[in-house]
Structure 1
Amino acid sequence: MTRGRYQGDGIGLVDDKGRVAIPSALRTTLAANAPKADGKTGGTIVIGAHQKNPCLIAYDPGYLDILAAQLDKREAENTAPDGEFDYNIKRAAASGEAVPFDGSGRFIMPAFPRFYAGIGEHAFFYGVLDYIEIWDPRTLIDTPDMPRVVKAMAQFHMAQKGIAL
């Protein structure tokens, strides 16, 4: 099976229990990459802390093997002459919790990742081909190395909700 690539963006309203819906374009790819065995709509999404930025990374369970292979390669490339490697390579990227999403793309964002990313009542979803980033919109705008177009996307979606960033 060829993996679908995550492209698309959108804002989700997060309720007080942490429920949020994945935007449609991203949800379609997620469901195609990890179809439910019983053929029903919905599936599983893995949510964890991004290894560098103050946001979350989200992906289908099949991406875990790809991520592990990338980290194994990076670890091998950073092994010292005495055989020791940088243990933080995997530590920084290994967080993740698999949670179910329903046919409408709703899932409950796990508490620690939500806390880590500072996500309040809005979550900005952005497809980054292999995975999805989930940001607090204000944090994204305030992150210096984010591309201008991504910041503009978040500003646009928030303005559609009547909120200026």
Structure 2
Amino acid sequence: MGILGKPYFRGQSIHRLDAKGRLRIPTKFREVLQNHYTDALVITRMGECLLAYPPEEWEKIENKAREFSQVQPEHRAFMRYFISSAEECEFDNQGRILIPPFLREEANLTQDVLLAGVLTNFEIWNKSTWDAHIKLDKDSYQKIMEFMAGTGL
């Protein structure tokens, strides 16, 4: 579980997609899954990256989404975009998952892929897209750190 004692996805890892679109999930992320969740993932799209959830965390999202209005346009749009693109991905014997082609295309995943742990899930990015976002987002980090320290916002 690590020294922090909580079963969260933390840190970053760079990997390569193979020719079939399979991605090796880092050991530290696999250990969180194996020790605290089902050893599988639900992957969906969000902006320019993909989000990977343990099935137990994904179920919480689906439970909330079930309460959405069937007629409110924003709710319907969310369901079409986020929920309808979700795919269950199981691991092979080598700790890889096959990312479906439409999701690879959506996130522009070609070869170099960055996985970023964000607590209850992790993001899957095209490495170049990640680098560009990190540079653009630097200004907002200071404001958030001030908020976290209790001095801002």
Aligned to 1:160: none
Aligned to 2:148: none
- Give the counterpart of 1:46 among 42, 49, 62: 42
Aligned to 1:93: 82
- Give the counterpart of 2:60 among 54, 63, 66: 66
- Give the counterpart of 2:10 among 2, 7, 12: 7
Aligned to 2:113: 123
Unaligned 5+ segments in structure 2 are: 1-5, 139-153
Matched, 1:56 2:68: no
Structure with the larger helix share: 2
Aligned to 1:20: 23
Unaligned 5+ segments in structure 1 are: 36-42, 77-82, 149-165
Aligned to 1:142: 132
TM-score computed with the length of structure 1 as normaliser? 0.68
Instruction: Give the length in aligned residue pairs.
Output: 130
Alpha-carbon distance, 1:33 to partner: 3.4
SS at match of 1:16: coil
TM-score computed with the length of structure 2 as normaliser? 0.72
Whether contact under 8 Å (1:33, 1:60) holds in the other structure is no
Whether contact under 8 Å (1:13, 1:121) holds in the other structure is yes
The 1:34–1:16 alpha-carbon spacing in structure 2 relative to 1, beyond 3 Å, is: same
Measured in 2, the distance between the counterparts of 1:122 and 1:33 equals 28
Note the aligned Cα RMSD (angstroms).
2.5
